[in-house]
Structure 1
Amino acid sequence: MPERRHFWRKSLEPIIAARNLKKIYRMGSAKIHALDGVDIDVMPGEVCAILGTSGSGKSTLLSLLAGLEHPTAGRIFIKKKPTYKMNESELVDFRLKHIGFVFQSFNLMPTMTAVENVALPLMFRGVPRARRMEAAKKLLVEMGLRQQLKNLPNQLSGGQQQRVSIARAIIAKPEIIFADEPTGNLDSVTAEQIMDIMCGQAKKRGATLLFVTHDPAKAEYADQVIHIIDGKVAKRETHGPAEISTEEIIQAELGIQGEEK
């Protein structure tokens, strides 16, 4: 398990914030309250777990935060931007620039090789083919997949596919990574390996990682754990003492003083 990084939460501005978030689905005349008044803050560089059972609303929360769905009510701010006000085109552009995704079912393109799948985000950013393929190859080698660069997804194990998915999520150096049940389709040993890789890569790159899980053991990887029950935040846990580097304390204090002026 990667070493946790702890935060002086009072002074840092959240990179992800939600206020009174609600999501209602309609099925005929019935209303399903998937989320009911959720407030959360996730700090820059933090690993945050959304923990809950099936049907608790945890995946809905991730979808709203990531801009994949619109809230029925409430506000969402990512990097201080009101994403809940953005239209679909603006959200697509924002996600492309700032967010990476890891999915339970891997979501790899079946007709593309591992290296081609990883290079996709760079293609969308206009990076020349030679450069993006070299970057993707380098990252996959770092992930331990040197021998699988040219394999199609159906030629890879579940753990290998998820490594490719993680590499694809981080290759464009996003500030935020969202992961929805990233180990849900894996055996316990492979799941631990994937959690180590995902959290380790996020920490190495200074990215904020928010992942959804039903497994309390996986939530132990997080700096902050948000428990969701019946669409509401039931409990918050912060692992470890509130520690932060001197440089970040100074920057935070200067920011506060600047606002006061």
Structure 2
Amino acid sequence: RPAAPLLLPASAEVRLCGVTFAYGPHSAPVVAGLDLRVPEGEHLAVVGPSGAGKSTLAALISGLLRPDAGEALVGGVPAASLDPSARVLIPQEAYVFRGTLRENLTYLRPGAGARELEEAAAALGAEDLVRAAGGYDAPLDPAALSAGGRQLVALVRAYLSPARLVVLDEATAHLDPAAEARVERAFARRGGTLVVVAHRITSARRAGRVLLMDGPDVRSGSHDELVRTAPLYADLVGHWQPEPVS
């Protein structure tokens, strides 16, 4: 059968309605009956212990996984049917390919001009990376980049893309806290909807709302609300490396 057409959503609102997902018919659900609404323009941080379903949620929102039950929608369109230009997901292990730095950065927006490239690099703090690479038209060897350098290339690529929904799944884990703060603030100012699987407590504090995942037990609220009302969140905060709020 011909493939179903990919669709452009009316907005970047994320809505999950009774979403359940398990990795196999005999596995316990990682996500169970989840209802979630992320209005367009919101900055949501997702936190929880290892194995709580954070990356699974990121993949469901991005359409890389399909729910076993319920619906995952972006702007009213099933996430799995989204046109790729509508959303971008950056995982922890960022993909960089052989070619020029310009080709890597503009892969999702080939028509980006010199000014747009420079503004994106400045917004995300990638000017040093550009200089070290030898400029935008220098050939790029992915193996020669640090893990943080590869993440920065992927982040600038996502920033330049036309996507109104950006999902960062620990995509700043190899950056230092100051660089991470700069990246997250740049994406928040960029507009659209931002979902961040948090790597540090400061990511949760910067978000407008925090989603706490622990398998089927899911709560949301501000950082301060969850510290007071959710023992698991307070425990996570206590075990995170303390950092000053930047």
TM-score of the superposed pair, with normalisation by structure 1: 0.70
The match for 2:187 is: 202
The match for 2:94 is: 106
The match for 1:54 is: 50
**Larger RCO (alpha carbons 8 Å, 6+ apart):** 1
Find out whether 1:31 has 2:20 as its counterpart: no
Matches within 5 A, 1:41-190: 41-83=37-79, 86=81, 91=82, 94-96=83-85, 98-109=86-97, 111-123=98-110, 127=111, 131=112, 135-136=116-117, 138-142=119-123, 143-144=126-127, 145-147=129-131, 148=133, 149=135, 150=138, 151-184=140-173, 186=174, 190=175
Alignment check: 8 A CA contact 2:21 2:69 kept: yes
Distance 2:57 2:91 in 1: 15
Q: Secondary structure at the match of 1:178?
A: strand
Distance 1:99 1:228 in 2: 22
- For the aligned residue pairs, the C-alpha RMSD in angstroms reads 2.6
Q: 1:113 to 1:103 in 2, by over 3 A?
A: farther
Q: Secondary structure at the match of 2:27?
A: strand
Residues 211-235 of structure 1, C-alpha deviations (whole Å, 9 max, x = no match): 11354343222111000002431x2
Distance 1:32 1:214 in 2: 25
Q: Give 1:170 deviation, angstroms.
A: 1.5
Q: 1:165 to 1:194 in 2, by over 3 A?
A: farther
Q: Secondary structure at the match of 2:176?
A: helix
Alignment check: 8 A CA contact 1:47 1:199 kept: no
Distance 1:63 1:204 in 2: 24
Q: Secondary structure at the match of 1:25?
A: coil
Q: Secondary structure at the match of 1:197?
A: helix
Q: Secondary structure at the match of 2:186?
A: helix
Q: Give 1:138 deviation, angstroms.
A: 5.0
Q: Secondary structure at the match of 2:63?
A: coil
Aligned residue type for 1:146: V
Distance 2:108 2:178 in 1: 24
Find out whether 1:224 has 2:205 as its counterpart: no
Q: Give 1:18 deviation, angstroms.
A: 0.6
Alignment check: 8 A CA contact 2:120 2:159 kept: no
Distance 1:166 1:228 in 2: 25
TM-score of the superposed pair, with normalisation by structure 2: 0.74
Gapped regions of structure 1 (runs ≥ 5): 1-12, 241-261
Q: Give 1:108 deviation, angstroms.
A: 1.4
Alignment check: 8 A CA contact 2:12 2:192 kept: no
Find out whether 1:20 has 2:18 as its counterpart: yes
Alignment check: 8 A CA contact 1:23 1:36 kept: yes
Distance 2:30 2:207 in 1: 24
Distance 2:121 2:12 in 1: 31
Match of 1:238 among 219, 222, 241: 222
Q: Secondary structure at the match of 2:109?
A: helix
Distance 2:203 2:72 in 1: 26
Distance 2:122 2:198 in 1: 28
Structure 1 stretches of 4+ moved >3 Å: 131-138, 214-217
The match for 1:5 is: none
Distance 2:205 2:40 in 1: 19
Alignment check: 8 A CA contact 1:51 1:215 kept: no
Gapped regions of structure 2 (runs ≥ 5): 1-10, 225-246
Distance 1:67 1:83 in 2: 4
Q: Give 1:166 deviation, angstroms.
A: 0.9
Q: Give 1:206 deviation, angstroms.
A: 1.2
Aligned residue type for 2:94: F
Aligned residue type for 1:163: L
